[in-house]
């Protein structure tokens, strides 16, 4: 993956756009293992893979274990639920691209940008980035659509 840095959300062309910043997450090996290592209490926990184990990460050509992309997506969920409420579970959606990786010691900051007044109120921009601007995941989230078809 490329070392992509982002244009700050705060530098949106429309200054009236609301930017909401979520709780910064300090990425740690313990939390990576909790997410990607299987259920605690399983014999041999954690399952060894490139998310949970240094040796496995190095065998995959990585300098350190990396967070699952889904773990980074999960950081943004709290913000999306703050924005749309729990009703978002009843038809809400999102679409994201994974462009960066998180390792223990990194800080991940989820952000949400709502369009300014007059624009589509049912779609927001979302991203997860590091304090140095390195972009991890970005995309958009949308309000519920009722149909299951």
Partner 1 sequence: MSKYAHELEVGDPIEPRFFSISPEVNQQCLFAQEDFHPRYLPRADGEAEIVHPAIALQMLANTKSPSYKVPEHIAAILTETYMQFFEPLRVGKNYVSRWQVARTYTKRDKPYHEIRGEISDEAGRPVARRILQLAYIPKAD
18 or 35: CB nearest partner 1 = 35
Are the CB atoms for 88 and 122 separated by under 8 Å? no
Interaction residues for partner 1, span 110-139 (CB under 8 A): none
Counting contacts by CB under 8 A, is residue 78 touching partner 1? yes
- Of the candidate spans 2-10, 11-19, 28-36, 115-123, the one that interacts with partner 1 by CB under 8 A turns out to be 28-36
Counting contacts by CB under 8 A, is residue 40 touching partner 1? yes
Q: How far is the CB of 68 from partner 1 (least distance, A)?
A: 8
Is the alpha carbon torsion for 141, 144, 148, 149 positive or negative?
negative
Counting contacts by CB under 8 A, is residue 107 touching partner 1? no
Are the CB atoms for 129 and 135 separated by under 8 Å? yes
In three-state secondary structure terms, 127 is: strand
Name the nearest CA neighbour of 77 among 31, 117, 108. 108
Q: What are the helix and strand counts (H, E) for the chain?
A: 3, 6
The residue ranges that bind partner 1 (CB under 8 A) are 1, 23, 25, 31-32, 34-35, 39-41, 50, 59-61, 68-71, 73-75, 77-78, 81, 86, 88-98, 145, 148
């Amino acid at each position: 993956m490329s070392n992509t840095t982002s244009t700050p959300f705060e530098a949106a062309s429309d200054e009236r756009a609301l930017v909401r910043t979520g709780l910064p997450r300090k990425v740690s090996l313990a939390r990576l293992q909790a997410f990607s290592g299987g259920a605690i209490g399983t014999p041999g926990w954690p399952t060894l893979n490139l998310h949970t184990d240094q040796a496995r990460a190095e065998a995959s050509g990585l300098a350190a274990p990396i967070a699952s992309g889904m773990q980074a997506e999960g950081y943004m969920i709290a913000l999306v639920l703050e924005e749309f409420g729990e009703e978002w579970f009843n038809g809400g959606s999102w679409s994201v691209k994974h462009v960066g990786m998180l390792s223990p010691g990194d800080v991940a900051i989820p952000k949400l940008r709502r369009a300014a007044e007059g624009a589509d109120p049912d779609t927001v921009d979302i991203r997860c980035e590091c304090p140095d601007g390195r972009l991890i995941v970005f995309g958009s989230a949308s309000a519920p659509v009722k149909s299951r078809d």
